[in-house]
Structure 1
Amino acid sequence: MDWLLAPPTGAAAQALRDELTMFLSRHAAEPAQVSNAALVASELIGNAVEHAGGPIWVTLDWSATRPVLAVHDLGPSFELGPLTLPEATSERGRGLWLASQLAKDLTVAAKRDTGKRVQVVLALTRRTESSFDPARRITNPLPAADEAGPHGFGREPFLRALVVELARTAETTHGPSAAEHLVAQVGATVGAQMEDEYRRARTVFDRLTPEQIAESYVRLKAAIDGDFYIISVTDEKIELGNRRCPFGDTVRQAPTLCRMTSSVFGGIAARNHHAAVVLLDERIAVGDPECRVTVLLGPAAQHTTGGHHYHAPPP
């Protein structure tokens, strides 16, 4: 789940802290520990608001046993170094020290271009919940090509704005989890149709090989104005980069839409290799210069705890 603070004001940070606290309270197996986790989040977000001077993206990944909180910004990076309790008269340094005491694995990583990611593992575990691995719907949701008129507001900008605003509204009204579920469902259905189109274009009837899956990813993203390219392909793993998001710069206002890529890629891979895990390692939506996506296939996916998990539908 992702949130954007732009502009990064104190009031916006407090509202996000409240939303994070409510989310953790709903899903944590240890309610008594939620306040400590919320305090860690407050310290990291507060530091970014004070020092970054620009947009801030907050990501909570709870695909593994414990939630990983990451705060992305475009401000200068720094070396973490050893953390000790500051002197009583010191006005700085307590936030990171406190976060290191109440959570685990506090790290600071510079982005490849500008900015940094401060990440920590919160001391919570998650209750058993439903997975976002939806089945393909039978009804075709794609618009017909002749629906756009020759004049007036262009179809592509309108549809892009429509999708982004729907995702933002779902997140605002029902929470980030509901927005991710909505986007994942669209991705599952549209991804299956895109796989069918690729099979027809390439006359493929058997299981797609990893190379064919990677080619299908690049093909379908290019068709919607993405700029994905293949970094490497093995029997167990596909690595891709992306220089341009199909949603344009507006994706930074709704990072939840990254779940669309995860669901499309994961669904295609799982249908052909029984199981798949998608790792969104870098994302334009949270300030990275490019996207980096890793798709684990078959046994490699079955032995991975992190990332988004997908499974082949029953016969």
Structure 2
Amino acid sequence: MDCYVEAGAAHALPALRRELVTYLRRHGDPGSDFDAAELLIGEAVGNAVRHTAGPAWVSLHWRDQLPLLTVHDLGPGFDPASLGNAVEPAPDPDADPFDSLAESGRGLMIMRALAPTLTSRARTGEGMVVSVSLPVTRPPSVSHDPPMRRAGALPLPEESLPQGGFGKESFLRALVVQLAQTIEVQHGQDAADAAVAQVGTDVGGRMLEEFRLAQAVTGRMSPEEIGRCYVRLKHAIDGGFRVVEATEERIVLVNDRCPFGEAVRQAPSLCRMTSSVFGGIAARNSDEGATVLLEERIALGDVGCRVVVELSVTREDADPATHYYATPVEG
């Protein structure tokens, strides 16, 4: 992070300090001493602005273990040691605590006590450069270095573009399929199904909102409207779904084209995406809940998909082979 502070712009220091500390908290270990880091930032930048006549350039870089704050005073400079000999004035109860520290003459002492490292040097020409490391560490992270799979990985070589590389669609499809497949391999089928189901539920809610807005649909949707919503959202992502039955009891759909293409056979858990999207939308328009039966699936080798959505089904009455979705409780 780099920022320029104009000469005499002491009023801008609180906002700058907050911005830098927010960055540290966003990337730092929660157990780090952020209060000490904030004091050091306030002192280092405040000294450059208040004790010189020129502007300052502030940089915060985090390439090593600790973040390094560097303040370039672009004015005539000042002697950092002189701050320790200042006469302490009477405290102002209404002043910013960082301002009072800077003016009290205790600033250099505080910086030396709190900073892991503190250096200063004269710039070529005029001004000073003060560098202070901040007592903030990055959170520990577990390293993962899996071997590269030599077979079955996506995108497929034939999906590359004439000008080189892969397009967004093939890349995103590969990303979703490989993530689902990896979860299944590392954590099991149930974990993969659960992850995909959560994603489908969240995405399906947004798709339902968009359909209602685009079609000016209010109140509870009829089975025919729910069916149109399913087909519309699936066609938008290049699926081949169509409704073959829509009654008060159920909606039945068939599909001859999966949005994930043949790649879905590598990660059958992605079918849970269809189940949770369809089931969630049905449950939001039901007094009870809804169930989804993935009767036929391209992912398992069938020539097409057949999906049966049963409407207004209680959990007790749900078939164990189906996926049950409860009607959301309004809150």
* TM-score, L = length of structure 1: 0.51
Q: Deviations over 1:185-206 (max 9, x none)?
A: 0000000000001001100111
1:221 aligns with 2:234: yes
1:276 aligns with 2:286: no
Report deviation, 1:254: 0.5
The percent identity for this pair of structures is 57
Structure 1 residue aligned with 2:74: none
Structure 1 residue aligned with 2:201: 188
Q: Is contact 1:252–1:284 with CA below 8 Å preserved after alignment?
A: yes
Which of the residues 277, 280, 284 maps onto 1:267? 280
Q: Deviations over 1:258-313 (max 9, x none)?
A: 00000000000001113100000000000100100000000477623230000111
Instruction: Return 5+ residue gaps in structure 1 as ranges.
Output: 1-149
Partners of 2:215 and 2:205 in 1: CA distance: 15
Partners of 1:212 and 1:301 in 2: CA distance: 24
1:305 aligns with 2:319: yes
Structure 1 residue aligned with 2:212: 199
The alignment partner of 1:240 has SS state of strand
Which of the residues 192, 195, 199 maps onto 1:179? 192
Question: RMSD of the alignment, in Å?
Answer: 1.6
The alignment partner of 1:298 has SS state of strand
Partners of 1:284 and 1:240 in 2: CA distance: 14
**Which residue identity lines up with residue 296 of structure 1 in the other structure?**
E
**Which residue identity lines up with residue 271 of structure 2 in the other structure?**
C
Partners of 1:151 and 1:297 in 2: CA distance: 48
Q: Is contact 2:315–2:326 with CA below 8 Å preserved after alignment?
A: no
**Structure number with bigger Rg:** 2
Query: More relative contact order in 1 or in 2 (CA 8 Å, sep 6+)?
Result: 1
Structure 1 pair 269–302 and aligned structure 2 pair: CA distance change class (3 A): farther
**Which residue identity lines up with residue 275 of structure 1 in the other structure?**
G
Which of the residues 283, 290, 307 maps onto 2:304? 290
Structure 1 pair 169–234 and aligned structure 2 pair: CA distance change class (3 A): same
Q: Is contact 1:277–1:295 with CA below 8 Å preserved after alignment?
A: yes
Which of the residues 245, 261, 271 maps onto 1:232? 245
**Which residue identity lines up with residue 172 of structure 2 in the other structure?**
L
Q: Which runs of 4+ in 1 moved over 3 A?
A: 299-302
**Which residue identity lines up with residue 288 of structure 1 in the other structure?**
D
The alignment partner of 2:253 has SS state of strand
Structure 2 residue aligned with 1:153: 166
Instruction: Return 5+ residue gaps in structure 2 as ranges.
Output: 1-162
Partners of 1:205 and 1:261 in 2: CA distance: 24
Q: Deviations over 1:72-91 (max 9, x none)?
A: xxxxxxxxxxxxxxxxxxxx
Q: Is contact 1:191–1:267 with CA below 8 Å preserved after alignment?
A: yes
* TM-score, L = length of structure 2: 0.49
